[in-house]
Structures are given as structure tokens and as C-alpha cells.
Structure 1
Amino acid sequence: MPSELLYAAKHAKGFMPVPEGLALYETACRYGKLGPICEIGTYCGKSAIYLGAAARQSGTVVVTVDHHRGSEEIQPGWAHHDPTLVDPRFGKMDSLPTFRATIAAAGLEEEVIAIVGRSERVAALWNAPLGMVFIDGGHSEEPVTRDYEGWAPHVMPGGALVFHDVYPDPADGGQAPYRVYLRALESEAFEEVSAEGSLRVLERVAPGL
């Protein structure tokens, strides 16, 4: 990964450890050659830098989808809440301005396309086959399930479905991404090809979910 983009990713707001970010970059370089990359859960753009760097390398683009009002775990009163991301005019989280500044500073505005909206609403309108889908939005049961059901069907044959924050041990983190990841494997439409930390990379080997 280019050193200036790795520096930008390391210093952006977000929760992606560097080894997982580099694994995400390498995965996107591989599967981005098949078609566009879609990220579900943008937040402030940390992982979008890794994906955008890969998109530039593989000659594709990243579409990143988020309503930018924050998932449950970053709301006030929760451990990952960042008060600097609250818009005082509305009293709501708004990570969009920080995301835009992050991507502009990294020089990736040509590679990273932001869609502001709820994942399930955008997925219902989506028609293009995708080389890779990265699911990293809300981490409770309902949003992870919606993201999987809405976006996994758009992964092209041979493409990748990637999950973040997959923790088999409940002591390490929430279980919803882990359960949905298992559901993807049990569908027999996907098989696991690599893992790094809490990142899991599945490749589409058959139609369906």
C-alpha cells in the first residue's frame, strides 16, 4: 500500500487495526479487478482509505454507503461515542463532514463515491454486480442481517463478501456479525478464503444466500 495512503489511514478516525486494514487492502486489490467495491458502513472514512487505495491499484471504484447518523454503539452514552461528531444544530451524530475531509485529504475523491442513506434502502435500488462487498455497518442483529440480505446477492461469481468484527468468543465482542458470517457459510454460496483478526473474507462459489 502506498506509504502516504497508509499514513492517512492510520491517522483517520475509526476502528480498523492496521493489520486488518492491510488485509482489507490486499483483498480489495484482488477482487476489485472483477468489479466495483461496495462498503457498508462508512463512518469517518478510515477503511474507505484502504479500499480507495486498492480501487486505484485495481482500476475500479469504491461505493460507500452510510446514513452518517451513527450506529447504536457510537451514540451518546456508549463506549465508542465521539462527541466531536455531534451536530449541535440537530443534536444528532453526523460523520459525513469528517468523512469528506478524510477522503479529500487522502486524495481519493475520484476513487471513493459516497452514498448517504440507509443500507437497506440503497440495496433495494442497486442492480450492478459487485466484485466485493464489505459489511461493517451496525453491529447488532437487525442491521447486520439487513446488510447481508440486501447486499450479498449483488456479489458476482468469484467475488468476495467480507465481514468485519467477527468474534467467535463473546468475551471479545458482539456476536451478531459472527452469527451472520456463519449464516453465509451455511448457505454454501460462500466459502472462507482468508482471515485476519476479526476480518473474514468469503468468496462466492454458488448462487443464492
Structure 2
Amino acid sequence: METSRPIELPLDIETIKGFLDPQEGEALYRLAAEASDLGPVLEVGSYCGKSTVYLGSACRLMDNSLFAIDHHRGSEEHQPGEEYHDSDLFDDRSQLMDSFHNFRSNMRRAGLEQNVIPVVAPSAVAARHWNTPLGLVFIDGGHSLEAAVTDYRAWSRHIVPGGYLAIHDIFPDPKDGGQAPYEIYKLALASGQFELVEMVKTLGILRRIQ
């Protein structure tokens, strides 16, 4: 991947809630810029938009679009009583977690509303009638095995040959973190359709070869 071009972000990325390491975010930015010649970009799991700003900023630079798929009700670990619950994102009226207002505000602050297309729906529902070929798919949704496998099976088939699949939170050693992203990473390699390009911390970047 091209690494010489400095990245251009429209705001201080640390003002956005999220769990993406800056090195991983910069890798996503460069990957989205490179993949823009192949088709639109799609991410599964936007949360409050940290990864969306990296990806969307590259799409704006390249006059491309980013589809941001998230039901905005939070993953398992974001629910009340769980490790990553954030009370600021809990809607007292509905008694549900809701990150969409925060996400939308961040897209407006970043000036990305012309390039980022939010799709507020579960991943499988959004994919049900999807037909648009994609240059890059970034998977960072629910980390249960069922959710991760659903995301992989729903979206990887839409990546064009030469396009990219990026998977976040890959931990080969169970002591370091959950195994669901690592399992779909192994599924992708075992399929014979993807090859590893590089690992950036916990971000696995694969290319579709057929």
C-alpha cells in the first residue's frame, strides 16, 4: 500500500468515542484511498464514527462513497452492566443503547455527510438485497462468533477481485482477546479467495484474489 502520502483528517480524531488504534486508522485511510479505483467502501460496525472518519476522509479525497452499516444499538459488550457500556450513549426514553445521534453529529463535524451513507440496520438485513460491488469491506461489528460469521458471509462475496477485506480485533492468542474476528480471518484465508497483505496491530488486511 502507498504510505508516503500524509493523511488528512478534518477534526481531532481523539474527540470521537471508539476503540481504533491510530496506526490501524491510518492503515484504513490509506487502504480506502487505494481501493477507491475499484468501487465504494463499506464498513460494518460504525459505533460513534472513529473508523468512519478515517475511511470517509479518504473517500472524500478520492471522490468515493462509504456505506456505514450499524444498527446503533451496540454490540454485546456495550449493553448495561457490560465492560464497554457507555452511559452517555444510553437513551433513557427507549431504555436502549443508541449511538446514532453521536455518530451523525460526528459526520457533520467532520464534513463527511456527502461521502458517508449511514445504513441504520442489522448487518444481515442491510445485506439482504445488496448488489453493489465493493472495493473494500471493513468488518468491526459484533464480536460474537455468530455476528462475525454473519458479517463475513454477508459482505465478503461483494468484494471485487483485487479488492480488500479488513478485519479488526484479530487476536491469535485467546489470552489477548475474543476469538470471533480471528475465526473469520481464518475462514477467509481457508476459502482460497483471499490472501494476507499485512497485519497492522490487530487489523488484518486481505486482498481478494479470485
> Which TM-score applies when normalising by structure 2?
0.95
Separation in 2 of the partners of 1:32 and 1:118? 25
Alignment of 1:1-209 (within 5 A): 1-2=7-8, 4-5=9-10, 7-206=11-210
Residue 166 of structure 2 aligns with an amino acid whose one-letter code is: V
Aligned residues: percent identity? 48
Residue segments in structure 1 that go unaligned for 5+ positions in a row: none
Shift, 1:33, TM fit? 2.0
Dislocated runs of 4+, deviation >4 Å: none
Residue 121 of structure 2 aligns with an amino acid whose one-letter code is: G
SS of the residue 2:34 aligns to:
helix
SS of the residue 1:125 aligns to:
coil
Separation in 1 of the partners of 2:159 and 2:168? 17
Render the CA deviation track for 1:124-177: whole Å, top value 9, x for unaligned: 110010000000000110000000000000001110011000011111110010
> Which TM-score applies when normalising by structure 1?
0.95
Separation in 1 of the partners of 2:16 and 2:37? 26
Separation in 2 of the partners of 1:201 and 1:57? 21
- Verify the 8 A CA contact 1:37 1:132 in the aligned structure 2: yes
Residue segments in structure 2 that go unaligned for 5+ positions in a row: 1-6
Return the structure number with greater helix share.
1
Separation in 1 of the partners of 2:108 and 2:185? 33
Separation in 1 of the partners of 2:95 and 2:168? 29
SS of the residue 1:142 aligns to:
helix
Separation in 1 of the partners of 2:16 and 2:31? 20
- Verify the 8 A CA contact 1:133 1:161 in the aligned structure 2: yes
